[in-house]
Amino acid sequence: MNVYAAGAAYGLLVIRRKDLKEAMVAHGVTNLGLGLYVLATGSCVSGRDIRLCH
């Protein structure tokens, strides 16, 4: 999922649920997952490509 799709998904979540907190939690869970991915693989996710962290 790219960053634009993720943003759209969070926006739709706010519109459908009428609750900003749920979108904030979803964003936090996404960031946690990406952080764990980076720690486990040593790779960074940057937009459309995956590259090594420096």
- Looking at the chain, list the stretches that DSSP marks H as alpha helix, in order from N- to C-terminal side: 3-17, 20-41
3-class DSSP assignment, residue 15: helix
Q: Is 13:22 a contact under the CB 8 Å cutoff? A: yes
Query: Which has the minimum average pLDDT: 2-11, 14-23, 36-45?
Result: 36-45
Q: What is the pTM of this model?
A: 0.69
Residue 42: pLDDT band (50, 70, 90) is confident
What would the pLDDT profile of 16-40 be if each residue is shown by its tens digit? 999 999 999 999 999 899 888 888 8
Amino acid at 24: M
Cβ atoms 34, 47 nearer than 8 A: no
In percent, how much of the chain has pLDDT > 70?
78
